[in-house]
Structure 1
Amino acid sequence: MRKICTLELLSAKRVQSFRHIREEEVSNLVDSLTAASGEPVDLTRMLSTVTSSITSRAAFGKAQELTDAFMVVIENISVLDQVIEDHKSRRRAGRNGDGEKEDLVDVLLNLQEKQNLGEMFLAGIETSTTVMEWVMSAMINDSRVLQKAQQEVRQVYGGDDGKNHFGEAKLDQLKYLDMVIAESLRLHPPLPLLIPRENRDKNVSFGSYEVSVNTNVIVNAWAINRDPRYWTEAERFFPERFVDCPIDYTSTDLQFIPFGAGRRMCPGVSFGMKIVKLTLASLIFHFDWKLPAGQKNINMTGCFRATLRRQYALHLIPITYGRVLP
């Protein structure tokens, strides 16, 4: 499944072929936000919708009917996780041998399919939405960073050019936005604990550790990304730390692995990051952003579902760029 996705569905050429879909759906998002200018919006849901629409059209050629279905699935991931954990607990307790019939979840667990399906799902809608939520939250909480990112994107795209057609052609020029996204990923990786891998061949040594054959290994990406031995002021949101550090999500540099590393890294990185960068650039080009009345900053508490998401939905007020409120 991974090989098919990497070589066929998520190849660089195929991802680029979906450019018009990304541009159209992000333009629809901008239209919706423009209509709501000056009023609080549930940006979490809107980001989920645009990501779902892009993914649905790219994968199936359809948008709205599948987007609605995807939203139901995303909102109920925690329930699905609990069902799976209940089955695992029952299996560990040996109760399946007491005459209980296996259901579909038991069969899937037996076939080890959950991991494969989970990787495919997380590489798409949930992960991209999560990344954008955290980036917007971090920028709203740091006006210096937001203003600097807005200045860059508005300078690159320029007045009427960007307003008439905000496309992907100039995204490569947004170097500071790249740093902002990378810094947010460092502090808030969508998968803080990477998907477990089993050492199947032979005993392997890592420094002073020995991993025996048939042992499952879980990499703590969250801890690596915040390790003070590798990151100065590791807990601080400071995008400029990447000025002299090339940003490459496919690199084998293991001090920064928001999507894993090597052959087993997330196969949907290229597809997802195209959505993330175009959407974020559009949001800060077309709009200024305010917090709802009475709110002084964004609560950065996270919760773990399929990914490490914000605990609370992100509600913000978009102000169309250039509009003066009464």
Structure 2
Amino acid sequence: MDLILLYSIPFLSFSFAVCAWILQILKPRKPCKLPPGPKPYPVIGNILELGEKPHQSLAKLSQVYGPLIHLKLGSLTTVVVSSPGIAEIFLQKHDQVFSGRNHSGAAHALDHHKLSMAWLPAENQWRKLRKICKEQMFSAPSLDSSQGLRRDRLQKLCEYVHGCCVDGKAVDIGRASFTTSLNLMSATLFSEEFAAFDSGSCEELREVVCGIMEYLGKPNLADYFPVLRSLDPQGILRKNTVYFRRCFHIFEEIIGKRLEMRAGTRLKNDMLDSLLDINQRNDSELSILDIKHLLLDLFVAGTDTTSSTVEWAMSELLRHPHKMLLVKNELREVIGKNHEQVTESDISRLSYLRAVVKETFRLHPAGPLLVPHKSAGEDTEINGYTIPRNAQILINAWAIGRDSSTWLDPESFIPERFLETETDFKGQHFELVPFGAGRRICPGLPLANRMVHMMVATLIHNFDWKLDGGLNPQQLDMNESFGLTLKKTIPLMAVPMELHTF
């Protein structure tokens, strides 16, 4: 009898599970009206609709189906937002509901999705990391105290460009901006300089950072069909893990040396020291592993996005020489003509430069689809449509910046549009959301704001520029390559010249 009972338990458990599943299917459901969208194909859904440049493909779909559309990407339910009004509903009115993260398979490298501020759910650990960043790194006093380090790195950018000027050599603006961003970030985080211009060490770090950003943004079959995640059919997780390990190796060496210095009571009072102070007060609050994953978030996001934005800004200004002249004249008027160095405190007085940066963010947001959100609560009704629980939410910042119902002549580079308006990119104006908005807004925005303005101002204030190879400004290629960061397909090559004074 006992033996019969023993063998009956699994059978009965299975039977109850099947019955419960059937009852769930037969249970009457409230009618669900999903947002409109193209009809999905069997199994693959709308994956083919994405194309090589999903931000552009989704923008075209929104012109057909409206600013709120529904797609089926394999088994992944996705909702795409392409207008400022709808974005405000998701990112402000229902901010808490849509504050979850739909993390890609690439983010699973070294369990980054479990420890990263970018991918954690908006709960206790996430709030703790955000607070640390806000208070220890991105507060105005913290940034002011480290601006001398950034000023030194900008001076080295000037010295490098001057050398190219003397030699008549073209500057790869993206690479020069990346090296400067890398050193600005490493100075702020570690009080160290990571790379020299045209050095092998810079190329190696650029490969690591760009590789991580590429794989985090790369369409991944394992994301569309989670059953394939363990197989990693495209090798994305495997390749990203290699990059993560290389980055962590760098951090481990720096942290090890810093701990030795601290044992001798020598402090540098930078971001790393602040993090180690917290760790040594209470390891459970912030472990060394937490610190490495946080540094990865800050380091990778703060270099690639900033350098890409600077390259786009310089590309637009070289395409529009009269706009370049307006920036240059403003700098001469505010800063002076005798190569005085621009300072971070000058930014507030440079209204046209700020307008140029805003216009660059509008046309070329660093993250065209932001980092994917997720509907973390129950089904939610938005504008008469049901947004299903666990749906991936994509905010198409690229499409919002080119919305013809919001922007006059949206495809044109017109910085003047921002001179007579208070519209900004700091999360309060949903027609311009390159950093996101709501509780998931990019925590590094205050530093990125300073770095982008300072690099563009430094390049323009100290040099005149012409396109390499005698290109006419209108011949400059402005094609985009999609990824987590929006890059120029063909790098910007420009020749610096001695500044013409008059």
TM-score (norm 1): 0.85
Amino acid paired to 2:363: L
Change over 3 Å in CA distance of 1:3–1:68 after alignment to 2: farther
Amino acid paired to 1:143: P
Question: Hey, what does 2:205 align to over in structure 1?
Answer: 70
Offset at residue 264 of structure 1 (A): 0.7
Contact 2:375 2:389 in 1 (8 A): yes
Which protein shows a greater Rg?
A: 2
1:128 corresponds to 2:258: no
Counterparts of 2:211 and 2:229 in 1: how far apart (Å)?
A: 28
2:356 to 180, 187, 191: 180
2:336 to 148, 154, 158: 158
Offset at residue 118 of structure 1 (A): 7.9
Change over 3 Å in CA distance of 1:71–1:299 after alignment to 2: same
Counterparts of 1:74 and 1:43 in 2: how far apart (Å)?
A: 17
Change over 3 Å in CA distance of 1:67–1:5 after alignment to 2: farther
Change over 3 Å in CA distance of 1:79–1:170 after alignment to 2: closer
Contact 2:213 2:485 in 1 (8 A): no
Question: Hey, what does 1:237 align to over in structure 2?
Answer: 413
Counterparts of 1:95 and 1:251 in 2: how far apart (Å)?
A: 37
Offset at residue 172 of structure 1 (A): 1.4
Question: Hey, what does 2:179 align to over in structure 1?
Answer: 49
TM-score (norm 2): 0.57
Secondary structure at the aligned position of 1:290 is classed as strand
Counterparts of 2:492 and 2:159 in 1: how far apart (Å)?
A: 19
Gaps of 5+ in 1: 109-114
Contact 1:122 1:307 in 2 (8 A): no
Counterparts of 1:201 and 1:72 in 2: how far apart (Å)?
A: 38
Counterparts of 2:458 and 2:239 in 1: how far apart (Å)?
A: 43
1:225 corresponds to 2:401: yes
1:308 corresponds to 2:486: yes
Offset at residue 312 of structure 1 (A): 1.5
1:320 corresponds to 2:450: no
Question: Hey, what does 1:203 align to over in structure 2?
Answer: 379
Counterparts of 2:321 and 2:356 in 1: how far apart (Å)?
A: 13
Question: Hey, what does 2:454 align to over in structure 1?
Answer: 278
Change over 3 Å in CA distance of 1:53–1:67 after alignment to 2: farther
Change over 3 Å in CA distance of 1:204–1:117 after alignment to 2: farther
Secondary structure at the aligned position of 1:202 is classed as coil
Offset at residue 61 of structure 1 (A): 1.9
Give a deviation string over 1:47-85, Cα, whole Å, max 9, x none.
100000010111112113585653231343476459993
Question: Hey, what does 1:112 align to over in structure 2?
Answer: none
Give a deviation string over 1:200-252, Cα, whole Å, max 9, x none.
12332222332122222111111111110111111111111112211432232
1:137 corresponds to 2:315: yes
Higher relative contact order (CA 8 A, sep 6+): 1
Secondary structure at the aligned position of 2:377 is classed as coil
Give the paired residue count. Answer: 311
Counterparts of 2:218 and 2:382 in 1: how far apart (Å)?
A: 35
Counterparts of 1:80 and 1:191 in 2: how far apart (Å)?
A: 14
Question: Hey, what does 1:111 align to over in structure 2?
Answer: none
Question: Hey, what does 2:284 align to over in structure 1?
Answer: none
Contact 1:90 1:96 in 2 (8 A): no
Secondary structure at the aligned position of 2:365 is classed as coil
Change over 3 Å in CA distance of 1:30–1:212 after alignment to 2: same
Counterparts of 1:77 and 1:256 in 2: how far apart (Å)?
A: 26
1:148 to 316, 321, 326: 326
Counterparts of 2:342 and 2:400 in 1: how far apart (Å)?
A: 36
Offset at residue 260 of structure 1 (A): 0.6
Contact 1:18 1:58 in 2 (8 A): yes
Counterparts of 1:94 and 1:153 in 2: how far apart (Å)?
A: 52
Equivalent positions of 1:102-113 (< 5 A) are none
Amino acid paired to 2:138: L
1:27 corresponds to 2:155: yes
Change over 3 Å in CA distance of 1:16–1:209 after alignment to 2: farther
Offset at residue 273 of structure 1 (A): 1.4
Gaps of 5+ in 2: 1-128, 196-200, 245-292
Offset at residue 322 of structure 1 (A): 3.1
Contact 1:123 1:269 in 2 (8 A): no
Change over 3 Å in CA distance of 1:86–1:42 after alignment to 2: same
Counterparts of 2:312 and 2:214 in 1: how far apart (Å)?
A: 23
Contact 1:77 1:306 in 2 (8 A): no
Secondary structure at the aligned position of 2:428 is classed as coil
Deviates most, 186-195 or 70-79: 70-79
Amino acid paired to 1:177: L
1:169 corresponds to 2:299: no
Amino acid paired to 2:188: A
1:288 to 460, 464, 472: 464
Deviates most, 84-93 or 274-283: 84-93
Counterparts of 1:75 and 1:215 in 2: how far apart (Å)?
A: 28
Counterparts of 1:266 and 1:75 in 2: how far apart (Å)?
A: 19
Question: Hey, what does 1:214 align to over in structure 2?
Answer: 390
